[in-house]
């Protein structure tokens, strides 16, 4: 694992009243949260609720208009890039390059200089996403789900202690989704922190903690169990919990 020199034991992420707007659209509105290390943290919300914008702020690709962010105890910066893995919602791959060349490229930009080590980690990342037999194929020949898998391999190849995955399970078949979650759970056991955005409550149920977003604001956060319990109905699903908090907010309650 590619950890900073002195082992940092504080929270993986600290966001304090973070806001970001695109002209008059408040994409992220006064978000404050703390994510301890070694957990999977789900960011859930409908289209346009601010998930991607928030992740891009945490990665350091956008700067907050107000508020502060710290990842692994430091403000987001280029220097932090090698400690962070980011899988964007839309795969940013080089279509003409092969799978192996793409993953190798990301390994290099994340600072994996040692050739033998890089080759080994590239191989492991491609094997993990089940594309080793196709490693020499150009990315433009791949299906949408396969591109998604290459994109995940690129994000994890340098084995960062903090991973941001923007809707990693979209377009992934059910069998591979199970493999992904087994892998994510294995990573968190090793102390890696994973932030995952999703629409599906299936993903949400796997996360250690969740935050529900709506119109750029946090409407609830807690463990899946706590969020279900908050509805007061023992049989409530996470979908029920989300709708419960939407209605709760619509009644004019500020937060819960």
CA distance 64 to 57: 7
Is 102 a binder of Mg ion (CB under 5 A)?
A: no
CA distance 140 to 137: 8
User: Residue 108 burial by CB count (10 A; 0-12/13-18/19+): exposed, middle or buried?
Assistant: middle
Q: Which of 49, 52, 71, 121 binds Mg ion (CB under 5 A)?
A: 52
Positions 22 through 41 that interact with ligand ATP (CB under 6 A): 22, 25, 27
Is 171 a binder of ligand ATP (CB under 6 A)?
A: no
Among 86-94, 111-119, 132-140, 211-219, which window interacts with Mg ion (CB under 5 A)? 86-94
In the complex with ligand ATP, the residue whose CB is nearer, 22 or 94, is: 22
Which residues lie across from 44 on neighbouring strands? 198, 212
In the complex with ligand ATP, the residue whose CB is nearer, 45 or 161, is: 45
Is 45 a binder of ligand ATP (CB under 6 A)?
A: yes
Q: Which of 9, 24, 47, 143 binds ligand ATP (CB under 6 A)?
A: 47
Is 49 a binder of ligand ATP (CB under 6 A)?
A: yes
Q: Which of 202, 197, 199 is nearest to 164 (CA)?
A: 197
Q: Which does 22 bind (CB under 5 to 8 A by kind): ligand ATP, Mg ion, none?
A: ligand ATP
In the complex with ligand ATP, the residue whose CB is nearer, 107 or 220, is: 220
**31 close to 62: Cβ distance less than 8 angstroms:** no
Task: Please name the residues in contact with 97: beta carbons below 8 A apart, sequence gap of 6 or more.
Answer: 105, 138, 139
**210 close to 22: Cβ distance less than 8 angstroms:** no
Is 169 a binder of ligand ATP (CB under 6 A)?
A: no
């Amino acid at each position: 694992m590619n950890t900073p020199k002195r082992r940092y034991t504080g929270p993986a992420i600290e966001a304090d009243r973070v806001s970001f707007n695109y002209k008059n659209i408040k994409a992220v509105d006064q978000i404050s949260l703390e994510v301890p290390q070694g957990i999977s943290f789900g960011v859930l919300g409908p289209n346009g609720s601010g998930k991607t914008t928030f992740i891009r702020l945490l990665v350091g690709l956008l700067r907050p208009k107000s508020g502060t962010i710290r990842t692994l105890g430091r403000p987001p910066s280029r220097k932090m890039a090698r400690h962070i893995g980011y899988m964007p919602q839309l795969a940013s791959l080089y279509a003409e390059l092969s799978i192996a060349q793409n993953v190798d490229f990301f390994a290099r930009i994340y600072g994996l200089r040692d050739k033998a080590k890089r080759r080994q980690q590239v191989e492991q990342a491609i094997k993990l996403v089940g594309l080793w037999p196709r490693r020499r194929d150009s990315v433009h020949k791949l299906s949408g789900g396969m591109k998604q898998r290459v994109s995940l391999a690129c994000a994890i190849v340098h084995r960062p202690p903090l991973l941001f995955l923007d809707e990693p399970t979209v377009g992934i078949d059910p069998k591979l989704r199970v493999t992904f979650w087994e892998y994510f759970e294995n990573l968190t056991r090793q102390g890696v922190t994973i932030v995952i955005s999703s629409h599906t409550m299936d993903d949400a149920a796997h996360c250690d903690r969740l935050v529900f977003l709506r119109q750029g604001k946090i409407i609830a956060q807690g463990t899946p169990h706590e969020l279900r319990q908050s509805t007061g109905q023992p049989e409530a699903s996470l979908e029920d919990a989300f709708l419960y908090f939407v209605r709760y907010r619509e009644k004019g309650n500020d937060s819960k």
